[in-house]
């Protein structure tokens, strides 16, 4: 067995530095072996990173860097990512056990994010506003918010960071990044690329460690905006921390998304879509279609097909090209998902397949779990209401369109939803009534740099991706110019 790597360092003010707290280990979810030791930031390290980002913003000139130059640096970063996409993907697989082909597709796609936001750096601006007041010329400008704290989860560490970093840097903000303690190494390697692309020191700083590091960062009153992706539980804590200084926030949180299958759907496609929705990435995606609502008249048939397809999913090593589902990402997550199997059984849900650690020597030391389907679930059960974040799906029958919508909306979450039907009018009707940030019709799990993504209700605040992301990273300044030559009446501003 190789000795764990110890050469990962944090990036603060352009210097690669160790943390002042006790370092922590990264453990492979495939074989349980520690493979790297990472620095843990102290409160003073966090304060130094915020000070570096503040300096780069306040006096370092980054917000006044011409948009064309910011765009060039982002495009260069995109090229560097593209050249090392395979290394970055393999590193993420090592961290969180996600299947290589999915991670590679994601990593290769990051270059598109750089290019898209480079374009917005050069084109997103303010407006001139026709004014009714005589001689007034009024316009708005979009200015960077300031120093952004980006706190990210472990399931897609680089993609979810780039959703923040690209618009933030494009619009002239500086950043302090705190990746998940499960997946910090890939973010530090991205930091090397940010440096190599030519971003000035202090524009992007990276501190590593657990939730305490995130809490120190988000409580710092020198932060202008917090961009968080993670659980709804931590999202609430961050919102409370932000309230102390009225720091701007965007929150991308959890979900319990309904994937609704009507009797008139193309059922072959629907089975594949439902499987992709919940078992890709072993269900560890915020947008997982973890509640499958099935029209009563096709319930038995569809459930049988789904169970058959789920039982055929190939589990294996995430680097093996034949593997469809890898392990869960970390021990805490594995224990949580197993706990929910017990919860569902105690509540009276019917286990149709899965629920166990797979047998076989290759799975023995890893955090593997069989694809798991629970039948005849009631929507008020905990298994249908709480985010499991694993390969566990609930099947819930419904009698008609109204009931499907009512069940779909009966959740504290509102991240996404799927609708499977051949009836275009029904698709639009249902889509209009579902409370969700994204609705997929006859497809599932699609995202793009150009399409806004985010949740309603307790799935989050704000939107990432698309032109909407520019608003999250800019303040609008309104400018009034009096081009008249007369002297204004001080007590009659409309004159
Ligand atoms: P998590 O909330 O436990 O942790 C997320 C990050 O917050 C980590 O970096 C963690 O160290 C940090 N953190 C923990 N406590 C903190 C605190 N008090 N203050 C500041 N930072 C703190 O989430 P996770 O387990 O890493 O990721 C899984 C969760 O992320 C799921 O709930 C999932 O739905 C959600 N998620 C949402 C989206 C989305 O776009 N909506 C995408 C991916 C994941």
Domain residue spans in the chain? 10-253+455-478, 258-441
DSSP state of 392: E
Give 150's strand partners.
177, 227
Give 394's strand partners.
291, 374
Tell me which residue has its CA closest to atom 31 in ligand 1: 231
Range of weakest confidence among 131-145, 202-216, 276-290: 131-145
% of the chain at pLDDT higher than 70: 99
**Coil vs helix vs strand at 484:** coil
The finding on whether 215 has its CB within 6 A of some atom of ligand 1 is: yes
Tell me which residue has its CA closest to atom 40 in ligand 1: 252
Closest CA to 417 of 371, 379, 378, 456: 456
Q: Over the stretch 236-267, which tens digit does the pLDDT of each residue have? A: 999 999 999 999 999 999 999 999 999 999 99
Enumerate residues 6+ apart whose C-beta is below 8 A from 68: 121, 122
CA 430 to chain centre: 26
The finding on whether 214 has its CB within 6 A of some atom of ligand 1 is: yes
- Sign of dihedral through CA atoms 362, 186, 452, 403? positive
Please name the residue that has the structure tokens 């090392």: 84
Closest CA to 336 of 367, 375, 380, 373: 367
Average model confidence (pLDDT) across the chain: 96
What is the pTM assigned to this prediction? 0.96
Residue 494's pLDDT band, with cuts at 50, 70 and 90, is low
The finding on whether 223 has its CB within 6 A of some atom of ligand 1 is: no
Number of Cβ within 10 Å of residue 301's Cβ equals 12
pLDDT for the residue 1: 63
CATH fold label, 258-441: Aldehyde Dehydrogenase; Chain A, domain 2 (3.40.309)
Quote the ligand 1 centre to 231 CA distance (angstroms). Answer: 4
Residue 392's pLDDT band, with cuts at 50, 70 and 90, is very high
Enumerate residues 6+ apart whose C-beta is below 8 A from 178: 149, 150, 151, 152, 206, 207, 208, 209, 213, 214, 217
| 258-284: average pLDDT | 97
* Cβ–Cβ < 8 Å for 323, 411: no
The finding on whether 229 has its CB within 6 A of some atom of ligand 1 is: yes
Instruction: Indicate if the pLDDT at residue 202 is higher than 90.
Output: yes
Closest CA to 344 of 309, 375, 390: 375
Number of Cβ within 10 Å of residue 260's Cβ equals 28
Residue 457's pLDDT band, with cuts at 50, 70 and 90, is very high
pLDDT for the residue 495: 47
Going edge to edge, which strands form the sheet with 372-375?
A: 350-353, 372-375, 392-398, 291-295, 258-261, 416-420, 438-441
10-253+455-478 is a CATH 3.40.605.10 domain: yes
Residue 441's pLDDT band, with cuts at 50, 70 and 90, is very high
């Amino acid at each position: 067995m190789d000795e764990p790597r110890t050469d990962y360092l944090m990036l603060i003010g352009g210097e690669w530095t160790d943390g002042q707290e006790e370092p922590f280990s990264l453990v492979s979810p495939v074989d349980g072996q520690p493979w790297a030791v990472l620095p843990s930031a102290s409160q003073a390290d966090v304060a130094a990173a915020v000070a570096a980002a503040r300096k780069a913003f306040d006096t370092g000139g980054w917000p006044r860097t011409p948009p064309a130059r910011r765009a060039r640096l982002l495009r260069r970063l995109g090229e560097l990512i593209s050249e090392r996409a395979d290394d970055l993907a393999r590193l993420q697989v090592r961290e969180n056990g996600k299947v290589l082909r999915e991670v590679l597709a994601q990593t290769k796609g990051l270059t598109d994010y750089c290019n898209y936001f480079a374009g917005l750096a050069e084109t997103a601006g303010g407006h001139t506003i026709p004014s009714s007041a005589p001689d007034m010329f009024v316009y708005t400008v979009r200015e960077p918010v300031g120093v952004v704290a980006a706190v990210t989860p472990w399931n897609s560490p680089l993609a979810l960071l780039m959703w923040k970093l690209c618009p933030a840097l494009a619009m002239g903000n500086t950043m302090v990044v705190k990746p998940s303690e499960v997946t910090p190494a890939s973010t530090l390697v991205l930091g090397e690329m940010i440096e190599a692309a030519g971003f000035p020191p202090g524009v992007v700083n990276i501190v590593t460690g657990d939730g305490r590091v995130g809490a120190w960062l988000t409580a710092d009153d020198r932060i202008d905006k917090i961009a968080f992706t993670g659980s709804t539980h931590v999202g609430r804590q961050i919102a409370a921390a932000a309230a102390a200084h009225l720091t701007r926030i965007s929150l991308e949180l959890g979900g319990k998304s309904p994937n609704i299958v009507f009797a008139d759907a193309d059922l072959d496609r629907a089975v594949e879509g439902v499987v992709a929705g919940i078992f890709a990435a072993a269900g560890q995606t915020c947008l997982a279609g973890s509640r499958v609502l099935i029209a009563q008249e096709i319930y038995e048939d569809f459930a049988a097909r789904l169970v058959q397809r789920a039982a055929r999913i190939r589990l294996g090593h995430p680097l093996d090209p034949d593997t469809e589902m890898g392990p869960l990402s970390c021990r805490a997550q594995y224990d949580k998902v197993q706990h929910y199997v017990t919860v569902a059984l105690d509540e009276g849900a019917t286990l149709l397949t899965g629920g166990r650690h797979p047998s076989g020597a290759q799975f023995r030391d890893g955090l593997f779990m069989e694809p798991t389907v629970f039948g005849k679930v009631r929507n008020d059960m905990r298994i249908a209401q709480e985010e499991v974040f694993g390969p566990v799906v609930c099947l819930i029958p419904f009698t008609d369109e109204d009931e499907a919508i009512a069940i779909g909306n009966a959740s504290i979450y509102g991240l996404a939803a799927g609708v499977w039907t051949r009836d275009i009018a029904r698709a639009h009707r249902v889509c209009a009534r579902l409370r969700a940030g994204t609705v997929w019709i006859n497809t599932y799990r699609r995202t793009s740099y150009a399409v806004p993504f985010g949740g309603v209700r307790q799935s989050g605040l704000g939107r990432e991706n698309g032109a909407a992301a520019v608003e999250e990273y800019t303040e609008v300044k309104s400018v009034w110019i009096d081009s008249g030559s007369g002297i204004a009446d001080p007590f009659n501003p409309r004159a």
